[in-house]
Amino acid sequence: MSMERREFLRSGLLVAGGAAAGALIPAHGDVAEPATSNAPAAAATLALTPDGDLVVTHAPRGASARPTSEEVRRGVPGRKWVMVIDLANCDGCGVCSMTCAKSHFVPSDRQWLRVFRMQDDPASTPYWMPRPCFHCDDPPCARVCPVGATFKRDDGIVLIDNERCIGCRFCMAACPYSVRTFNWGRPNDPPAATARGYSPEWGYPRRVGTAEKCDFCPDMARDGKLPHCAGVCPMGAIWFGDENEDAVTNSRGETVQLSKLLRDRAAFRELEELGTKPRVYYLPPDNRHYPAPGEPGAQNGNQSHGVEQR
């Protein structure tokens, strides 16, 4: 797949795609019917309307709505996806977490992207810290999976194939970041999830007895779009891009040189001393652009308090 950097940056969010597909999306969010009985069969896909509603649309036959199993396990050729989270810009609003949950139909008892209220010591000021999966380059979860259900792609993303997962939870025990959750009961997937059909690139419909986690929205990256969390952050605090092109962009359309951003802002990675080589970088919470948690005018935050979900 050939995708120029400017194309990636100009692609915008899935919201724009949903608006452009307005002819396929009725006002009340129902699935559009073919105009004629002779219309070709279509593959179901999802779009996010400007009002924030998820609707099922249909791509014409021949459109690349679903990657092959080989493409899913290989990833996007020539890409090396990376995320940068600016803790100085994160105000704890939780929009990233809520949008992630809505777009992936995440049940209410878990979160793929959690926002923590952090305080390094009693004398320092608290700050907010979003925590997705870190998509490590040396992932312990993939090493311990006995059936290859958790796998590392060439483009840097770590995914779970729930058609292979046997529910042993070795991956959950091996992950030092506790970012995985488990489907203990039979899932209650909405019609939009079942209509699209399963792929490791979006992780639904769910299956009982399988693990799940943040996936970096690889189906959107494949189409040159930002992940849901990065695309909706009102503070522009989440950057996403291609390490091979040395460029990342955020929801405000700002594009910066990745290496310069990491160097100038003294970026760090969570538990880097473990040698897992996370693909998520943090920029320190210095010179914050918002009131600290607990101060007048601060967000209440969609926060987590350290209780891990298993």
- Enumerate the β-bridge partners of residue 81: 242
Residue for token pair 């791509």: 59
* Per-residue pLDDT tens listing for the chain (310 residues): 444 444 544 444 333 333 333 332 233 333 333 334 444 444 555 555 445 565 565 544 434 457 899 999 999 999 999 999 999 999 999 999 999 999 999 999 999 999 999 998 888 889 999 999 999 999 999 999 999 999 999 999 999 999 999 999 999 999 999 999 999 999 999 999 999 999 999 999 999 999 999 999 999 999 999 999 999 999 999 999 999 999 999 999 999 999 999 999 999 999 999 999 999 999 999 877 667 677 777 776 555 544 344 3
Give residue 300's pLDDT: 63
| Closest by Cα among 86, 96, 98 to 254 | 86
| pTM for this entry | 0.75
Tokens read off for 51: 């009002």
d(CA 237, CA 152): 26
Contact 89, 285 (CB under 8 A): no
Q: What is the pLDDT of residues 88-102, one digit of tens each?
A: 999 999 999 999 999
Within 8 A by CB and 6+ apart from 257, the residues are: 246, 247
Torsion, Cα 70 74 77 81, to 10 degrees, reads 140
In which element (H, E) is residue 147 found? none
Q: Which helix (H) or strand (E) holds 47?
A: strand 43-48
The whole-number pLDDT of residue 123 equals: 87
Q: Which domains does the chain have, with CATH numbers?
A: 5-63 (no CATH), 74-304 (3.30.70.20)
Inter-residue contact 248 to 240 (CB < 8 Å): yes
Tens-place pLDDT, residues 174-219: 999 999 999 999 999 999 999 999 999 999 999 999 999 999 999 9
Q: What's the pLDDT at 67?
A: 85
Residue type, 25: I
* Nearby residues of 249 by Cβ (< 8 Å), 6 or more positions away: 8, 9, 226, 239, 240, 241, 255, 256
- Look-up: residue for tokens 């929801």? 251
In three-state secondary structure terms, 83 is strand
- Both tokens of residue 123? 């004398």
- Residue 19 CA to residue 25 CA, distance in Å, equals 9
Q: Give dist(CA 262, CA 83) in Å, integer.
A: 11
Strands 211-212 and 238-242: unpaired
pLDDT at 203: 94
